[in-house]
Chain A
Amino acid sequence: MFVEPNTIKVKIKRGSNQSSFTQEFEVPEQDNQTVLDLVTYVQEYIDPTVSYRFACRVGMCGSCGMMVNGEPRWTCRTHVKKVLGSSKAIEVGPLGNLPVIKDLVVDMDPFFDKWIAVGGVHHPSKNRHQSIEKIDESSAERMFANEAVECINCGVCYAACDVVSANNDYFGPAALNRAWSLVNDVKTENKEAILDAVSGNSGCHNCHSQQNCSNYCPNELNPSASIASLKRKVFASKIKNLLGSAK
């Protein structure tokens, strides 16, 4: 006898920033299923107009970030069992703090614009005719840089950040984390310029250290610690300048 499989209610937030609505879909439950599998099922078998982003499906590319039951997550690495309550329903929405293009697809431009604004683009200390900078893996400077270097810019921390929600100009955790890795990178030229960029009005001093970024980072990085370190570094350099100019 054929047994109807159990189903999961998938409530997908659709539309754009201007007009949005929630649409409910019934998706068959399986033993091993990720939230991305649910959305893919909806798009392939129920409503092909549902828009969403993904690429690698194994937690390497960082393009499938969405709000799952109100929390930012990589949907490819979120098992349904982990987030499914007794109501057998899951809410999926576009990543927070970013403009929505359509349904589950957000515009990542503001996120990457800020990444560039902190000096995130590589500014090499050597040109192509000079020999490459030797990196001492065991040096204290390199260890500091390593702490922040694994970020893949998925935007989960940015969506989780309450300060970004309250102040849309704030650079956010990912960009500042990038700045911290560069400030500690021997291959980076003019680190003062990066410190100047992060100490502007949209910079690291806006952070309230609520640590949502660190709680939600799927790579288990600690942007909050990077930002705190930037604050200390800026503080020290400003005081030093002040004392220097007073002489």
Chain B
Amino acid sequence: MISAKLYILQRLTALIMAPLVLGHLVLMIYAVQGGLSASEILGRTQGSAFWAIFYALFVFAVSVHAAIGVRTVLFEWLKIRGSVLELLSWGLGLGLLVMGLYSVYAVTA
């Protein structure tokens, strides 16, 4: 059971994530190949509004997108219904959001 609203929300967040995933991959490969140390990386991300916005947006899109996807799995495979379904899926989304934003804060603040 998925409403048109959730469907649209999942497609829109996918749209946001597509370029961000590519940017993230390029960044990871660049950081590893250049042999940057943790402190060098933090030196570049801390205080950077660009990376804060980049990853905060990423975390937001992932939380919504993943919660809706897992919601369908819980519904179809585990036959979870009603308020338990809402609680589990939005709980997951909220968990991802809080942990993600905490990490973004830690490396960019």
Q: Do A and B come from one complex?
A: yes
Interfacial residues, chain A to chain B (CB-CB below 8 A): 163, 166-167, 169, 199-203, 205-206, 231, 234-235, 238-239
Report yes or no: A167 in contact with B8, Cβ–Cβ below 8 A.
Answer: no
Q: Classify the interface of chain B: helix, strand, loop or mixed.
A: helix
A202's nearest neighbour on chain B, judged by CB, is B1
Question: Contacts of A166 on B, CB cut-off 8 Å?
Answer: 75-77
Smallest CB gap from A198: residue in B: B4
Size range of the chain B interface in the assembly: 10 to 19
B56-109 residues at the A interface, CB under 8 angstroms: 75-77
| Docked-complex contact B4 and A205, CB < 8 angstroms | yes
Chain A residue nearest to B3 (CB atoms) is A201
Among B2, B11, B76, B77, the residue within 8 A (CB) of A201 is B2
In the complex, how many angstroms separate the beta carbon of A242 from the nearest chain B beta carbon? 9
- A163–B7 Cα distance when bound, in Å, is 15
Check if A199 sits within 8 Å of B76, measured CB to CB. Answer: no
Q: A166-B76, A166-B77, A167-B75 are in contact. Are A206 and B1 (CB under 8 A)?
A: yes
Residues of B bordering A, CB below 8 Å: 1-8, 11, 75-77
> Hey, which chain A residues are within 8 Å of B77, CB to CB?
166
Interface class of chain A by DSSP = helix
Contact partner of B76 among A167, A203, A205, CB < 8 A? Answer: A167
CB-CB under 8 A from B75, the residues of chain A are: 166-167
Separation of A167 and B8 alpha carbons in the complex (Å) = 20
Contact of A239 with B8 at beta-carbon distance under 8 Å, contacts A166-B76, A167-B75, A167-B76 already known: yes
Q: Report yes or no: B1 in contact with A235, Cβ–Cβ below 8 A.
A: no
Contact of B1 among A199, A201, A234, A239 (CB under 8 A): A201
- Closest residue on chain A to residue B11 by CB atoms: A235
**In the complex, are the beta carbons of A167 and B4 less than 8 A apart?**
no
Q: How far is the CB of B90 from chain A (nearest CB, A)?
A: 17
Contact of A167 among B1, B5, B7 (CB under 8 A): B1
Enumerate chain B residues within 8 angstroms of A169, measured Cβ to Cβ. Answer: 1
In the complex, the answer to whether A203 meets B4 with C-beta atoms within 8 Å is: yes
Which residue on A lies nearest to B10, using beta carbons? A205
B4 and A238 contact, CB distance less than 8 A: yes
Task: Give the CA-CA distance A239 to B77 in the complex, in Å.
Answer: 31
CB distance from B11 to the nearest CB of A (A): 7
Q: CA of A206 to CA of B93 in the docked complex: distance in angstroms?
A: 20
